[in-house]
Amino acid sequence: MTLVVLALDALDAGLVEYFAPETDGLVLESSAEIETYAYSKDEPFTPEVWATVATGLEPPEHGVTGSGTSEWENPLLELGSKVTGRLDEDVRGTLGRLVRRTTGQRERLASTDAETTFDREGAVVRNWPGVTDGRDLQRAWDLMAAASEDLSRSEFDRRLLGLAAEQFGWAREMLEHDVSLAGVHVHALDSAGHAYAGDEEALGHVYGRVNGFVEELVDALGEDDELLILSDHGMRTTFYPPDGDETPATHSWRAYATATTDSLPSSVYDVVDWVDEHWERADGDDEEVDVAVDRLRELGYVE
């Protein structure tokens, strides 16, 4: 049995309903809005919340907070979200300088020293903010930075969804192995939400593509496998009525969870306990791979 935990950044409970039926695959056996929190900013902040999901701890305890590294405080995200779709030349120039400055001084993203739910036997995790090295997340952020300069929409969508496809493909492959728990974070809806908060059709298209990826993953689940999908926050848009008085392209409080099981975590703090309840030990063997080292040496692959 494999339990898959899919972290769909910025998957918004309200927009899942708004974009139906294109989002029907995002409504599994149980689904609900879940409680999230803000700590270092006024709204839920991605790395802090995902580190909480993985550890069950508050930011001062897991140690991944806004002040962790300069990269977490990516100024592009904040500036970019305020000027989405309305970039004049001056702003583009400023963003360009910021891109060069941040990419020129790339640091490792902060990760927690605390025990995480992925430390258990047979668990694997890819691209989880605050847990893994975050290279995939950096790719998504770089893409957003490029979009605020001069990237076309078609290239933005192609690269963003190409990255998401890699992450969903990885999750599907884990189902073929003796993996007890597989966790993966996908940033597509957050990047698309910041870029397309004022464009219902464009954001709806990305929701539809993500819905398709989820349907493929659900189809690949074995009889005993389970899937939990959750988000850290949602995204405010110009076209979703309850966001009328809010600033578009900022994080909403509509975090969401849906699962193939009949219970759900009720908040981002509860996910560790929920995984404890639903996880089962894998029964793989630990036979080692028998590599012909001499052949590899002849080929120059090893010293």
Which of 38, 124 has the CB closer to Zn ion? 38
Angle at 90 between CA 87 and CA 91, to 5 degrees: 45
Q: Which residue from 232, 243, 252, 255 is in contact with Zn ion, where contact means CB under 5 A?
A: 232
Which of 49, 179 has the CB closer to Zn ion? 49
SS3 letters for 61-84? HHCCCCCCCCCCCCHHHHHHHHHC
Which of 12, 232 has the CB closer to Zn ion? 232
Which of 46, 84 has the CB closer to Zn ion? 46
Shortest distance, CB of residue 231 to Zn ion, whole angstroms?
7
Residue 191 tokens, joined: 């990047």
Q: In the window 93-112, what residues touch Zn ion (CB under 5 A)?
A: none
Q: Rounded to 5 degrees, what are φ and ψ at 64?
A: -100, 95
Spatial CA neighbour of 214 closest among 46, 33, 7, 49: 7
Which of 226, 232 has the CB closer to Zn ion? 232
Only one of the segments 38-46, 62-70, 109-117, 219-227 lies at the binding site for Zn ion (rule: CB under 5 A); that segment is 38-46
Which of 69, 260 has the CB closer to Zn ion? 69
Shortest distance, CB of residue 13 to Zn ion, whole angstroms?
14
Which of 136, 232 has the CB closer to Zn ion? 232
| Beta carbons of 37 and 49 less than 8 angstroms apart | yes
Report the C-alpha gap between 137 and 141 in whole angstroms: 6
How many of the chain's residues bind Zn ion (CB under 5 A)?
4
Shortest distance, CB of residue 299 to Zn ion, whole angstroms?
44
Spatial CA neighbour of 243 closest among 191, 206, 187, 193: 193
Tell me the DSSP string of 105-120.
Answer: T--PPPB--S--GGGS
Only one of the segments 1-9, 51-59, 129-137, 142-150 lies at the binding site for Zn ion (rule: CB under 5 A); that segment is 1-9
Report H helices in the chain. Answer: 13-18, 46-55, 59-62, 75-83, 89-104, 135-147, 153-174, 188-195, 200-220, 271-278, 293-299
Q: In the window 186-215, what residues touch Zn ion (CB under 5 A)?
A: 190
Shortest distance, CB of residue 48 to Zn ion, whole angstroms?
9
Shortest distance, CB of residue 50 to Zn ion, whole angstroms?
7
Q: Which residue from 8, 9, 74, 118 is in contact with Zn ion, where contact means CB under 5 A?
A: 9
> Going by DSSP bridges, is the β-strand pair 3-8/226-230 parallel, antiparallel, or unpaired?
parallel
Which of 9, 243 has the CB closer to Zn ion? 9
Shortest distance, CB of residue 280 to Zn ion, whole angstroms?
29
* 46 scored as a contact of Zn ion (CB under 5 A): yes
Report the C-alpha gap between 52 and 229 in whole angstroms: 15
Q: Rounded to 5 degrees, what are φ and ψ at 7?
A: -95, 100
Only one of the segments 55-63, 87-95, 183-191, 293-301 lies at the binding site for Zn ion (rule: CB under 5 A); that segment is 183-191
The residues of the shown chain that bind Zn ion, judged by CB under 5 A, are 9, 46, 190, 232
